[in-house]
């Protein structure tokens, strides 16, 4: 069981106010949140907007994504893999090793996100 503590543990929070207004520049803090709850909230906000006439944003073209490191890919065995790298320099070599291709980290095509 996770027990939250700290002076603000009993207060409500919102991601934008926490990560922009409360974190402070150069001074970190630990914030615990439910990612499932955040996803449900975000999906609900999009649904509400659509119900009152908002236009659906253009879907991302998975074959030509704006960022290939934040995209969903179908695997050879017809499953799906979603990539979401936060620290590309550190995480991409670890990912390449995990999928059995550590040599790809030396391939010049993969030296930067472009």
Closest Cα partner for 81 from 64, 99, 93? 99
Encode pLDDT of 46-90 as tens digits: 888 889 998 877 777 888 887 888 888 899 999 988 888 878 888
Nearest to 86 by CA among 78, 95, 77, 74: 95
Residue 111 pLDDT more than 60? yes
- Prediction pTM value: 0.49
| pLDDT average, residue stretch 33-39 | 80
**Predicted pLDDT at 22:** 62
């Amino acid at each position: 069981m996770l027990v939250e503590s700290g002076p603000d543990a009993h207060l409500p929070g919102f991601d934008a106010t926490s990560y922009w207004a409360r974190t402070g520049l150069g001074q970190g803090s630990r914030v615990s949140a439910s990612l499932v709850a955040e996803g449900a909230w975000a999906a609900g906000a999009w649904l509400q907007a659509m119900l009152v006439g908002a236009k659906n944003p253009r879907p991302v073209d998975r074959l030509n994504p704006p960022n290939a490191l934040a995209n969903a890919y179908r695997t050879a065995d017809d499953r799906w893999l979603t990539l979401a790298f936060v620290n590309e320099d550190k995480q991409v070599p670890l990912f390449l090793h995990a999928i059995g291709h550590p040599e790809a980290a030396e391939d010049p095509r993969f030296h930067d996100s472009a």
